[in-house]
Chains A and B, each alone.
Chain A
Amino acid sequence: MKKKKCVAMLLAGGQGTRLFALTDRVAKPAVSFGAKYRIIDFPLSNCTNSGIDTVGVLTQYQPLILNEYVGNGEPWDLDRSYGGVHTLPPYQAKQGGEWYKGTANAIYQNMHFLDRFDSEHVLILSGDHIYKMDYSKMLSAHIARGADCTIAVIDVPEKEASRFGIMDYGEDMRITSFEEKPKKPKSNHASMGVYVFKKDVLVRELTEDAADPASANDFGKNIIPKMLREGRGMFAYSFSGYWKDVGTVSSLWEANMDLLGDKPAFDLDDPSFKVYSRNDPLPPSYIGAGGRFENSVMTTGCEIYGTVVNSVIGEGVTVLEGAVIENSVIMQGSVIGKNVKINYGMVDENVIVEAGVVIGDDKSDKDHIALIGRDSVIKKGTEIKSGEIIERGKKA
């Protein structure tokens, strides 16, 4: 078989604890976003749009919905007879299997996958960011510099820098320092969690790391600092498009809101760089005679009889008469009853909000989003305060 130039390994096992009820039963990459997508659609579509046709998806936490969603990879054109998408869960071996201990350990345990395709380079991605990126440009830069490892960087606002892996690099893009989540960041060059390694280098580093009992087996904490200490060829690749870490409720809400407006911060409507997704076969959405739908997006199968302003409405959502939804995200299959008021709310999939419910109050804003977990039923007349979280399946 012909060698692959580059295969991608997508770390999709994270629990995403700061998304609370949203990740009760699903892994973070399977959380809904932007009316018709799930977070994992972005790295998968990026791979397809970058000509990378072999992707290992490493799953661990609550993988069922994620596995079903990825399936054979057909929506992303990743159903290939040689290559394509493969889900790689932890497995049991003769010497006893174990859970993935860290990001590096997850890849280490799937070295057989890298060996099978024996690519020259390995692209490592995470399943918790929203962005459109052509990885082939990064790969070209990586090859041109003969780098051992290339890390994608994006400049973030200084006050947020301590949430990321922060690095410094010279004019030649050679990385000089790297600190994971520093208290006092030296710069605002943040790691996007997108790495390209020479495959042989990656195999060597992972093997050494696995032999070190003191290691947390993590790329940001162990592998990258060690390679820097040893003076390996580490380069930064600067990316300047839209990129958002959606690890918290307010950042996920913000990323959804970034789709709105006449000139949205994040524009999905680009036929030359489509984001692919798996969707139900539903008819187009309908807005009723008394419906109002302003500065908002939705996808197929919605029925809108109430008012929707500044919001993102997922597949097959129904909004009944008299309901008013503002500054909110309603995910697929949910039904919003008559005269319901929602302001600064996130309603997960398949929630039923009965008539007259009020979600949000005068303290509601982007830092106080009310969150309703999937499959919940919110009983008639309930009031849910700003920032309140209703767990999955609860009947409030």
Chain B
Amino acid sequence: MKTLGIIFGNLHDKDVGELTAVRSLASVPFGGRFRLIDFVLSNMVNSGITKVGIVTKTNYNSLMDHVGNGKHWDLSRKNGGLIVLPPYGDGDMSLFRSRFGTLKNIRQFISHSDEDYVVMSDCDNVCNINLSDVLQAHEENHADITIVVRKKELVNKKPRTIVTTDKAGRVTEVVNTDKASGEKQVFANIFVMNRQFLLGIIDNADELGYNSFTRDVLARGVNKYRIFAFMQSGYFANIDSLSNYYKHSLELLDKDIRDELFYRDGANIYTKVRDSAPCKIASSAKVTNSMIADGCVIEGEVRNSILFRGVKVAKGAKITDSIVFQGSVIGKNSSLHCVIADKLVTILEDRTLSGHETHPYFIAKSAVI
């Protein structure tokens, strides 16, 4: 089963404006040493996919720097491998606003591939999913489209794509709404199509009046196409706001979630290797219920927090319920509570910064406080 992977790198940048001010959503740091795209990329690689296109639009320097030629994901290949698809063509950036517009724009890439199937995914999903299972179900169902769904308790007024299925897993209704509540099956923004079928839809989009993937292809197509749902029951986090980012990050302090996300059947999550020295924790330090990456030097107190690579915490400093990105320095006797500090932040001595569990305080990249 030869399969092509396509990752949408920018679709939801606006959701987490603070973190995407200097980067695309795909390269938002997560889990102490990873970037969001590592999860979807690793999922694809662990499922035997050896050719992956990443569609980018804006702010993609950090993403290019992170993925490089793909060697850390074993995607530096003579045939296939990692292909970054920067914006191309007539300068009509509006095409990239939707998933469907993006697919139209990379039609050539899709038509020049020779894989039978295409797996497409957004990059704001944190999960460890076996896509081979999805592909197998897709094949067994003789489906045109298979969409990954998950169960989610809907509480807020965010628009969601709610999916109804029959006993066989065939999709009977797809509704985009912000009015639903209670536990629903929602679209997880991961889907599989036969490549030729996908090309057919792209080519006939104008004739069919298709502009949106969910509204037109899925919602209007339930009776026309064989659309099936695949239930992802394992851990799944969608990063669609800063408070959600904060909440899902700190969930990693739960061992069961770490096990599910990082150690599922030996399917590791790969990332760019930086060769930092081991982390060093001094006699004066007190570290509890926290994740500490390589290169950290900790002399102060750290509790319920995640420290990325190379964070320095001076004596007397106290970090609680916070997330500190790569290379930041926390000065003597300063304290951070419910803070998200972006890369290379410097907190001088005796500073006190505090947010709230539902509203973490965000410090922008390279800020000096």
A residues within 8 Å of B by Cβ?
Answer: 34-36, 74-75, 259-260, 262, 264, 268-270, 274-277, 279-291, 293-300, 303, 312
**B274, closest chain A residue (CB):** A274
Task: Check B268 for interface membership: any CB of A closer than 8 A.
Answer: yes
> Is B291's CB within 8 Å of the partner chain A?
yes
Contacts of A277 in B (CB 8 A): 275
CB distance from A36 to the nearest CB of B (A): 5
Asked if B273 lies at the interface with its beta carbon under 8 angstroms from chain A, I say yes
Size of the B side of the interface (Cβ < 8 Å), in residues, is 41
Contact B268 A282 (CB under 8 A): yes
Q: Is the CB of A285 within 8 A of B291?
A: yes
Report the nearest A residue to B296, measured CB to CB.
A284
Beta-carbon contacts under 8 Å, B272-304 to A = 273, 275-283, 285, 287-295, 297, 299
Knowing A277-B275, A300-B33, the reply to whether A283 touches B281 (Cβ < 8 A) is no
Interface SS, A side: loop
**CB-CB contacts below 8 Å: B1-25 with A:** none
Pairwise interchain contact B282-A295, C-beta atoms closer than 8 A: yes
Residues of B within 8 Å of A284, CB to CB, are 31-33, 291-294, 306-308
Q: Determine if A281 and B271 form an interchain contact, defined as CB atoms under 8 angstroms apart.
A: yes
Residue B359 at the A interface, CB < 8 A? no
Chain A residue numbers with a CB within 8 Å of B275 are 75, 274-277
Interfacial chain B residues near A293, Cβ < 8 Å? 281, 285, 287
Instruction: Mark the stretch among B57-65, B84-92, B138-146, B252-260 that contacts chain A.
Output: B252-260
Asked if B258 and A295 sit within 8 Å, CB to CB, the answer is: no
CB of B103 within 8 Å of the partner chain: no
User: Are B293 and A75 neighbours in the complex by a CB distance under 8 Å?
Assistant: no
Q: Assuming A293-B287, A300-B294, what are 7 further A-B pairs, CB within 8 angstroms?
A: A36-B294, A74-B71, A75-B275, A262-B299, A284-B31, A285-B293, A291-B287
Task: Provide the B242-266 mask, 1 if CB < 8 A to any CB of A, else 0.
Answer: 0000000000110100100110000
Q: How far is the CA of A85 from the CA of B281 in the complex (A)?
A: 35
Q: Do B288 and A286 touch (CB < 8 A)?
A: no
- If A36-B294, A280-B268, A283-B258 touch, does A297 touch B289 (CB 8 Å cutoff)? no
Contacts of A300 in B (CB 8 A): 33, 293-294
Who on chain B is nearest to A34 by CB? B278
A-B contacts, 14 listed (Cβ < 8 Å): A34-B278, A75-B273, A262-B299, A264-B280, A270-B277, A280-B268, A283-B269, A284-B33, A284-B293, A286-B290, A290-B288, A294-B283, A295-B281, A299-B279
Closest partner residue, chain B, to A260 (CB atom): B280
**Complex contact A283–B287 (CB within 8 A):** no
Q: How far is the CA of A277 from the CA of B281 in the complex (A)?
A: 21
Quick check: is B191 within 8 A (CB to CB) of the other chain? no
Q: Is there an interface contact between A35 and B278, defined as CB atoms closer than 8 Å? A: yes
Known: A269-B295, A289-B289, A291-B288. A283 touches B282 (CB 8 A): no
In whole Å, how far is A261's beta carbon from the nearest beta carbon of chain B? 8
Contact between A287 and B289, CB atoms less than 8 A apart: yes
A300, B277: Cα distance in complex, Å: 11
A277 to B287 CA separation, bound complex (whole angstroms): 26
A269 touches B277 (CB 8 A): yes
A296 and B268 contact, Cβ closer than 8 Å, known pairs A74-B71, A269-B297, A303-B255: no
Q: Are B71 and A298 in contact (CB under 8 A)?
A: no
Complex Cα spacing A337 to B141, Å: 47
Indicate if B361 sits at the interface (CB-CB under 8 A).
no
Cβ contact within 8 Å between A288 and B288: yes
Partner of A294, one of B278, B279, B282: B282
- Residues in chain A near residue B291, CB distance under 8 A: 283-286
Interface centre among A268, A274, A281, A297 (most CB of B within 10 A): A281
Who on chain B is nearest to A300 by CB?
B294
What chain A residues lie within 8 Å of B279 (beta carbons)? 285, 297-299
Q: Which residues of A contact B288 (CB under 8 A)?
A: 287-291
Bound form: Cα–Cα A72–B261 in Å:
29
Return A35 CB to nearest CB of chain B, in Å.
4
Give chain A nearest CB distance to B232 CB in angstroms. Answer: 20
| B268 and A299 contact, CB distance less than 8 A | no
Q: Kindly list the 10 A-B residue pairs having the minimum CB-CB distance in the complex, ordered from nearest.
A: A284-B32, A268-B277, A284-B293, A35-B278, A281-B268, A269-B277, A295-B283, A297-B278, A299-B278, A289-B289
- Name the distance in Å between B41's Cβ and chain A's nearest Cβ: 12
State how many angstroms separate the Cβ of B76 from the closest Cβ of chain A: 9
Chain B nearest Cβ from A304, distance in angstroms: 9
Could you tell me the distance in whole angstroms from the C-beta of A78 to the nearest C-beta in chain B? 13
Contacts of B258 in A (CB 8 A): 283, 286
Interchain nearest-CB distance for B325 vs A (Å): 13
Q: Which residue of B lies closest to A45 (CB)?
A: B275
- A275 and B306 CA atoms in complex are apart in Å by 25
Name the B residues within 8 Å of A288 (CB-CB).
288-289
Q: Identify A287's interface contact among B252, B277, B278, B290, CB under 8 A.
A: B290
Q: Using A268-B277, A277-B275, A295-B282 as known contacts, say yes or no to A285 and B33 having CB atoms under 8 A apart.
A: no
Per the 8 Å Cβ criterion, residues 333-368 of B in contact with A are none
Complex contacts, A281 vs chain B, CB 8 Å = 42, 268-271
Shortest CB–CB separation between residue A167 and chain B, in angstroms?
33
Shortest distance in angstroms between A133's beta carbon and chain B's nearest beta carbon?
A: 17
User: In whole Å, how far is B154's beta carbon from the nearest beta carbon of chain A?
Assistant: 30
